[in-house]
Structure 1
Amino acid sequence: MNNLITAKNSWDAASYQDKHSFVWQYGEDLLQLLNPQPGEFILDLGCGTGQLTEKIAQFGAEVRGTDNSATMIEKARKNYPHLNFDVADARNFQVDKPLDAVFSNAVLHWVKEPEAAIACIHQALKSGGRFVAEFGGKGNIQQILTALYNALENLGISNPQTLNPWYFPSIGEYVTILEAQGFDVIYAALFNRPTPLTEDKAGMANWIWMFADAFLVGLTSEEQTQVICEVENFLQGKLYHQGTWTADYRRIRIVANKV
């Protein structure tokens, strides 16, 4: 695997693994759609700390994990030293031999150039190879985003929407791109998946620091605290129940074959 792009990042791999394990735990049933077979060559694109990569390997497949975060890959290598992990960018990677499948969980909403990623995935697959993915879809974390935008506007920051690091497509939008790139889409679904966060009262703050820190860059520590407090207050009656925060996730699932 050629590591053509190593993106700078601020991922805290230990916190991701310890406090945000729901990311891969919810992805486990996606493996049923992947249906790995012994001897297949499969790429786990955006593998994080490697938990689902290991589960794919347990089916007898030859699997490699890639992530654009060097800290994530370092942690994955420590977790599963018997597997192959590389730092690589979803928009620009190459493989040693054509893949039977590309698997991706909770990653592609971070790629704001979907055409580049899909083209790269298509090129890496053998003819008839499959692409199985789940990520944030249209309407994902809409309440959290609204709260973040309001809090930042209260600080006098105009157009906070420009800080949004994510891409949340509709089914129609994403299927259109896939078909234009040479995929036959055989399954597509968009569904609500409210996701309880760990750490009780600290759950939303931890989530923001892990996944939404792009909205806090350039703020003073006092301003960061103010933003998080305002977000919590705004969402208190919506996403906080019986001592637990819930993220208003909405996910898109795709299964497509390379024509």
Structure 2
Amino acid sequence: MSSSSPTSSSPPPSPPWPSSPSTAPGKINSTATANSPASPSPSGSTSPSPASSSTACCTICSLDTLSLLLDILEPQPGESILDLGCGMGQSTARLADAGARPTGIDLLPALLEQARLAYPHCSFVEADFLAWNPPAPFDAILAHASLHWIHPPKDAAWRLFHFLRPGGRFAASLGGAAEPARELDAYYRPSPQDYGKILKKTGFNDIEIELFRPEINGGTLIVAARRPF
């Protein structure tokens, strides 16, 4: 399935809910380091991987970035958290293990079928992130190896911002590059500076971005940011 995206001449429509303060904003742990050992971790693609990008994506997904992202996000009991690009649901289950109320979203029905079988206590939605409107905003968003598939990146950032409650935060891993990348590449690999500019222009604050292991296929961006109150 392919992702549809809003036109670039105007922002996507606002989600149909009023703004309200976050009940459990948690915090972003900016002291976390990206030195975790390598181990398998779930796929987070929200669309089928282009063949030319499969090696780079597997590298990002195989790094043990999920535990790092969870340390940064610090999911709290009772929080509503969106798991963007949940794949087979392992990351969604980790959020549930922390006591949160996660919702996993992905485009691929085969992966979601496995997720529902393995983790029946979690909620999963088959949808296009750029077209879906959830019933209420989230306290936090986890995006593990998924944002680099969503185009254009400024629209993805806009929806991340408006899917969060005021004070809500997100943590993400995505393909990065030491040098600036073209936004129209099938597999978008921004530099930390480029992605930071997108998030700042969208309205996020407390932005923390680190290029992790740049020697491996250009590296992985570890990102944390918050929607202001």
Q: Give TM-score scaled by structure 1 length.
A: 0.61
- 1:60 equivalent in structure 2: 99
- 1:188 equivalent in structure 2: 209
Distance 1:179 1:58, change over 3 A: same
Q: What secondary structure sits across from 1:27 in the alignment? A: helix
Q: Write the letter of the residue equivalent to 2:193.
A: G
- Distance in 2 (CA, whole Å) between partners of 1:21 and 1:170 is 15
- Distance in 1 (CA, whole Å) between partners of 2:193 and 2:49 is 32
Instruction: For residue 93 of structure 1, report the CA deviation from its aligned partner.
Output: 2.3
Structure 2 residue 131 is the aligned partner of structure 1 residue 92: yes
Q: What secondary structure sits across from 1:104 in the alignment? A: strand
Instruction: For residue 25 of structure 1, report the CA deviation from its aligned partner.
Output: 4.3
Structure 2 residue 221 is the aligned partner of structure 1 residue 252: yes
Structure 2 residue 192 is the aligned partner of structure 1 residue 171: yes
Structure 2 residue 99 is the aligned partner of structure 1 residue 78: no
Q: What secondary structure sits across from 1:174 in the alignment? A: helix
Runs of 4+ in 1 over 6 A off after TM superposition: none
- Equivalent pair of 1:107/1:135 in contact (CA under 8 Å): yes
- Distance in 1 (CA, whole Å) between partners of 2:101 and 2:195 is 28
**Which is helix-richer, 1 or 2?**
1
Q: Write the letter of the residue equivalent to 2:171.
A: V
- Equivalent pair of 1:105/1:135 in contact (CA under 8 Å): yes
**Structure 2 counterparts to residues 74-223 of structure 1, below 5 A:** 74-139=113-178, 165-192=186-213
Percent sequence identity over matched residues?
36
- Equivalent pair of 2:69/2:173 in contact (CA under 8 Å): yes
Q: What secondary structure sits across from 2:95 in the alignment? A: helix
- 1:237 equivalent in structure 2: none
- Distance in 1 (CA, whole Å) between partners of 2:119 and 2:222 is 27
**Structure 2 counterparts to residues 9-88 of structure 1, below 5 A:** 9=48, 22-23=61-62, 25-88=64-127
Q: Give TM-score scaled by structure 2 length.
A: 0.68
- Distance in 2 (CA, whole Å) between partners of 1:165 and 1:130 is 27
Q: What secondary structure sits across from 2:226 in the alignment? A: strand
